[in-house]
A and B are shown apart, each in its own frame.
Chain A
């Protein structure tokens, strides 16, 4: 079949096939275009006003002071517009001569989870679908705690024919379970706390001195600040989730979707590495309430605890609460040495 379809009389004509092919192309294109226009993309609050400048922002530690100021101003403006209130984004650095530490009295904790809720409110965590919590309170079955049996080692009646079921645990010895005997329950719903025969074990970021999460981060967005707090530059995070896999304490949370933070519940006093609103695809975790602690205040969880189970202070100061706990109380460490040097301690009186 000849390609040139022009008629001999000079009039430019098309074959029926060409016409139909073009008509088909136009139809598909217009239909697809209509569909594309009709589909309204779901733009989340936290990202709808993100500018190019924010997208191409450098790593915070590599920015000049001027660039940092610009970035903070940009964020303040954006958050203020989005949440309809004056939002401040602070970048107060770590204080000299401070190494922050935390101690928690598991004997006192009543499992009320007020710390969890206070943390969510203070740190602008996603509220619903999904509800993200940085503190997890494990509910444990209380064993037969016996201080006398602690560290006694193997009992005399040990025999290989009848091996014991349990290993050394809190308050027990090699063959007698005393503390942690059942699986924890993160989302327990008790009518009344503390429940009989239960004790509670809150867990959050341990702010390790040798943090595995920092070692694995391929873009160095997470690092240890001079006061010992492990921070995250949310704008630099690529969401690879390597840190989540590396953390032996399961303390990091991933934003699978856009966080759901109602404007009226948003805490406007934020810190760049702390509680400023996060975006989809980044990792977040406890940071000892940087926005508070760097201004001389206690973290929200410490402040809200009704039984005073939580102690916080400067590990470099021998007179601080946390150092006094370490000196005078019965402190626990993980049996399996992970060499992460956590700065979060569990103790009993």
Chain B
């Protein structure tokens, strides 16, 4: 029930090793920290390098195959399309629409 009170008091009761220690002793924990940081840094970089090499060595999918797959899917869809002949009126309207849209795009209309 009152455990939190006991825990709260603990830090002040713990002796401060570094500040209470002599100058020579204080250098050692710092050196240890730097050494660990250096090892960590090297390990991190090396792991990244290793991961990169591992990923790049995995055989990638055949590029030609990927391209073919897309092309063939398109072939199927496109060959099923139906075309109809345009009437004279339709052709005229289409040209008019194209020109009108073009002029609109240029801000002439």
Q: Do A and B come from one complex?
A: yes
Pick from A99, A140, A186, A334: contact of B71, CB under 8 Å: A186
B26 within 8 A of A: no
Pick from B28, B75, B78, B83: contact of A335, CB under 8 Å: B83
Q: Which of A35, A210, A226, A334 has the most CB of B within 10 A?
A: A35
Are A183 and B84 in contact (CB-based, < 8 A)? no
Given known contacts A99-B98, A316-B99, A326-B91, A331 and B86 CB-to-CB distance under 8 angstroms: yes
Main SS at interface, chain A: loop
Given known contacts A32-B47, A131-B64, A332-B83, A315 and B99 CB-to-CB distance under 8 angstroms: yes
Residues of chain A in range 136-173 having any CB-CB distance to chain B below 8 Å: 136, 138, 140, 150-151, 167-170
Are A334 and B75 in contact (CB-based, < 8 A)? no
Residue count of chain B within 8 Å CB distance of chain A: 50
Are A36 and B46 in contact (CB-based, < 8 A)? yes
A28 within 8 A of B: yes
Chain B nearest Cβ from A137, distance in angstroms? 10
What is the interface residue range for chain A against chain B? 35 or more
Pick from A30, A140, A257: contact of B79, CB under 8 Å: A140
Interface bits A1-21 vs B (CB < 8 Å: 1, else 0) = 000101000001000000000
Question: How many cross-chain pairs have Cβ atoms below 8 Å apart between A and B?
Answer: 170
Chain A nearest Cβ from B6, distance in angstroms? 22
Are A36 and B49 in contact (CB-based, < 8 A)? yes
Are A335 and B84 in contact (CB-based, < 8 A)? yes
A contact residues around B70 at 8 Å (CB): 244, 250, 253-254
Main SS at interface, chain B: helix
Are A33 and B85 in contact (CB-based, < 8 A)? no
- For the complex, give the distance between the alpha carbons of A6 and B85 in Å: 95
Interface bits A178-197 vs B (CB < 8 Å: 1, else 0) = 01101111110000000000
A contact residues around B1 at 8 Å (CB): none
Chain A nearest Cβ from B52, distance in angstroms? 7
Chain A nearest Cβ from B4, distance in angstroms? 25
Task: Identify 17 new A-B residue pairs, CB closer than 8 A, beyond the known A26-B39, A41-B52, A254-B70.
Answer: A29-B42, A33-B42, A33-B45, A39-B49, A39-B53, A136-B74, A140-B79, A180-B82, A183-B76, A183-B79, A186-B75, A226-B105, A250-B78, A257-B60, A326-B95, A333-B90, A341-B97
